[in-house]
Amino acid sequence: MAHSVYSADVTQESFETDVLERSRTVPVLVDFWAAWCGPCKMLMPMLAKLAEEYQGRFFLAKVNSDEQQELATRYGIRSLPTIKLFSNGAVVGEFVGVQPERSIRALLDRHIARPSDRLVHEALEAEARGDAAGALDILRRVHSEDAANDRAIVHLGRMLLEQGADTQAEQILARISPAGRADPDLAPLLTRLEFIRMTVAAPPLAELEKRVQAQPGDMQARHWLGARYLLAGHYEAALEQWLTMVRENRQFGNDAGRKALLAAFNFLGGKGELVRKYRNLLSLALN
């Protein structure tokens, strides 16, 4: 393979510098290969082409697994080719075997800084200072100039939701790329939209509280009340409504109470004392 400033053969001795240290500046894609490996020979030209195309926005490190067996053992290489992406000294993504170019690009693009990322950072700083309007203006500009910046889409969608612009937020979040859907900050936003859609036809919170108190078996009112509570930040009250539905009427809405609980767990980040408590209570209710 022709010499390139964007790739290099890496050994046990140079791995610390060429991969771990370098990855603190740019992502490093490590290709564990061997001369006898047919799929390796198919993949390597594709990786080399991408390294040239990206012009230093990532570095390609090639590790001959037969010659560098200590490295192969350290990183648990059992099949070739194995590709591992390093960022800030740690593995942040990997795949085994020959993959389509679009999949490799998606992996890279999740971890490669874009020029517009600087503006996203400025927007978040403005938001932290209490300048929500300024932050929103910056994020709108980023989205206008770089519509493929998924982080800008996530933060713009989040801020629009926080300001009650639900329809705009839904339209913006629908534009996120398939790769961007792996962003852990996206799932709670999409779940919030689900609960917003659930309450479109629902009465106000106070009216629902009176209705459930007067008619405890009204599962529709209880379901709406759970969604209203969640959107108002009354998380335990919301979970309690859906848990009651699971205990008393699982037939309503094709097990709507259980489904709402699972969606709420996702909304709350899937962890924490409250989620653990209600996961256990749900488990008991189902058994």
The 10s digit of each residue's pLDDT in 58-77 is 999 999 999 999 999 999 99
pLDDT tens, position by position, 100-158:
998 899 889 888 888 898 999 999 999 999 999 999 999 999 999 999 899 899 999 99
Helix axes 166-173, 150-162, angle to 10 degrees: 170
By the 8 A CB rule, do 224 and 198 touch? yes
The catalytic residues are: 37, 40
Q: In the chain, pLDDT over 90 holds for what percent of residues?
A: 86
pLDDT digits (tens, 9 = 90+) for 26-62: 999 999 999 999 999 999 999 999 999 999 999 999 9
Output 153-160 pairs: Cβ under 8 A, ≥24 positions apart: 153/180, 154/180, 154/183, 154/185, 154/186, 154/189, 155/120, 155/123, 155/124, 157/189, 158/185, 158/189, 159/127, 159/132, 159/135, 160/136
Cis, peptide link before residue 81, omega less than 30° from 0: yes
- What pLDDT is recorded for position 114? 85
pLDDT at position 78 over 60: yes
pLDDT at 1 over 90: no
d(Cα 243, Cα 223) in Å, to the nearest integer? 10
Residues of the chain above pLDDT 70, percent: 99
Q: Residue 208: is it exposed, middle or buried by C-beta count within 10 angstroms (0-12/13-18/19+)?
A: buried
Residues ≥6 apart with Cβ < 8 Å to 238: 225, 226, 227, 228, 229, 230, 264
The CA distances from residue 24 to 6, 17, 77, 121, 130, in Å, are 16, 10, 23, 18, 31
pLDDT in tens, 151-201: 899 999 999 999 999 999 999 999 998 777 877 789 899 999 999 999 999
CA distance 285 to 243: 8
Helix axes 256-267, 219-232, angle to 10 degrees: 0
pLDDT in tens, 206-222: 999 999 999 999 999 99
pLDDT in tens, 230-265: 999 999 999 999 999 999 999 999 999 999 999 999
Q: In this predicted structure, what is the pLDDT of residue 2?
A: 52
Model's pTM, two decimal places?
A: 0.66
CA distance 109 to 15: 23
Q: In order of start, what are the domains of the chain with their CATH numbers?
A: 7-109 (3.40.30.10), 117-183 (1.25.40.10), 198-286 (1.25.40)
